[in-house]
Every structure is written in structure tokens, then in C-alpha cells.
Amino acid sequence: MEIYEIVCGAIVLLVCILIVILCMMQDQKQDQNMTSALGGGSNDSFYKNNESNTRDVALQKLTRNLGIIAVLILIAMNIVVPLIMNMSK
């Protein structure tokens, strides 16, 4: 096993653990159902109107970016680096 495989594997493992932690920190989405319609649930709130500034949106963006980073590292680890190693022989 090459050193780059160990380093990339450790980085991907850490990124995946961070993704799991971030997913657990996010609030669950509750769909509007019959109970809120009968109980007079309102869709207009401060947080709904300013949704782009909430903590959940920041967590979603960070989770998405970490997922992209993990995929790019895996592609580099499994496709790009072996091709470069074979060309240098």
C-alpha cells in the first residue's frame, strides 16, 4: 500500500465522519400535514421568511461541500493517481 493511499483514506474517513455528525446536527424537516391545517398551523414565520440565513442552511451547504470533497478525493485516489503512477514507469 502506498503512502498516498493511506493519507487519502484517512482524509476520506475524517470527511465522512464529519458528514455524519453534520447530518445529525440538522433539524428534521416536518411536512405540513392535516394536523397543522386543522390546528391552524401557520406557514409564515420569521425563520421561514429568512430561510437563507439560518443555521440549517449553513449546515446543509457544509454537508454538500464535504460530500463533494470526499468524492473528488476518492476519484483522485482511484483513477488519477494510478494513471500517473503507470505513466511514470
pLDDT bucket at 81, cuts 50 / 70 / 90: confident
58 or 45, which is more confident: 58
Task: Flag whether 4 is in a domain.
Answer: yes
Task: Flag whether 37 is in a domain.
Answer: no
Residues 6+ apart with CB under 8 A from 87: none
Q: Which domain holds residue 71?
A: 1-26+55-89
Task: Flag whether 66 is in a domain.
Answer: yes
Task: Flag whether 50 is in a domain.
Answer: no
Task: Flag whether 81 is in a domain.
Answer: yes
pLDDT bucket at 4, cuts 50 / 70 / 90: confident
Annotate 18-72 with DSSP letters as a single string: HHHHHHHHSPPP----HHHHHTT--S--HHHHTGGGSHHHHHHHHHHHHHHHHHH
25 or 84, which is more confident: 25
Task: Flag whether 77 is in a domain.
Answer: yes
pLDDT bucket at 35, cuts 50 / 70 / 90: low
Task: Flag whether 44 is in a domain.
Answer: no
The overall average pLDDT reported for the chain is 78
Task: Flag whether 71 is in a domain.
Answer: yes
Cβ 73 vs Cβ 5: under 8 Å = no
Total structural domains in the chain?
A: 1
Q: CA Rg, the chain, in Å? A: 21
